[in-house]
Structure 1
Amino acid sequence: MNLLIINEKCPRCGVIERAEAEFKIGYMNVDTYSLGDEIKWASGPCKPPHQKRPSGGNATGEGYVCCPCCGKDFWVIIKVEHDVILQVEVDYTKNGYIK
């Protein structure tokens, strides 16, 4: 797991707050990233596919967020292009676990 620092509007309470999105893209070393950072990729034949560098360094994955304001959870979509985290957006199609 890695962490992405985001400033997104919580779909549950509507507050824009700094939060951490847990995600599984790149080398799983519990690294903390921000938008614009370059992803570290794992090497070697025994690493899972989501840790190895994909073709062109392009990947899309999901992140899990707990809002620091309301304590509710939600999902985001994280887009990596040419090894750089370029975009994060709330995934309104996926429900959180916390009621």
Structure 2
Amino acid sequence: MYNLLLINVKCPRCNESVNAEAEFKIGLMNLDTYKLGDELKWAIGRAKSPHQLRPQNGDSIGEGYVCCPNCEKDFWVVIKIEHDIISSFEVDITKKGYIE
């Protein structure tokens, strides 16, 4: 399971600005849909991954996987959570996608 972050991003593969979904595995992975500024839900009790449990101060950094709706190529983003709020993201140009 994963969650979705709705983003407007310039695709590093086709250089178009697109509305896209970033799949990410942070917090309660329940196929919830978020946008920047939303409060992330955390798993309570036993979790299958440490990324599901609330870290100290509710601060976390993780990765998201995006498939561009324009060129249909993929790329990665880094997602930042501050005090339980999804505060920002940026394209990770250091990590290659799966689609050539």
Shorter-chain TM-score bucket reads over 0.9
TM-score, normalization: structure 1?
0.98
Does 2:91 align with 1:90? yes
Q: Residue 47 of structure 2 contacts residue 53 of structure 2 at CA under 8 Å; is this kept in 1?
A: no
TM-score, normalization: structure 2?
0.97
Aligned position for 1:16: 17
* Percentage of identical aligned residues: 67
Output one character per residue of 1:14-66: Cα deviation in whole Å (capped at 9) or x when no partner: 00100000000100100000000000000113442110000000000000000
Write the letter of the residue equivalent to 2:25: K
Task: After TM superposition, give the deviation of residue 13 of structure 1 in Å.
Answer: 0.1
Q: Residue 80 of structure 2 contacts residue 86 of structure 2 at CA under 8 Å; is this kept in 1?
A: yes
Alignment of 1:1-99 (within 5 A): 1-99=2-100
Output one character per residue of 1:60-99: Cα deviation in whole Å (capped at 9) or x when no partner: 0000000000000000000000000000100000000000
Structure 1: where are the runs of 5+ without partners? none
Write the letter of the residue equivalent to 2:13: R
Alignment size in residue pairs:
99
Partners of 1:30 and 1:83 in 2: how far apart? 17
**RMSD of the TM alignment (CA)?**
0.7
Write the letter of the residue equivalent to 1:63: G
Structure 2: where are the runs of 5+ without partners? none
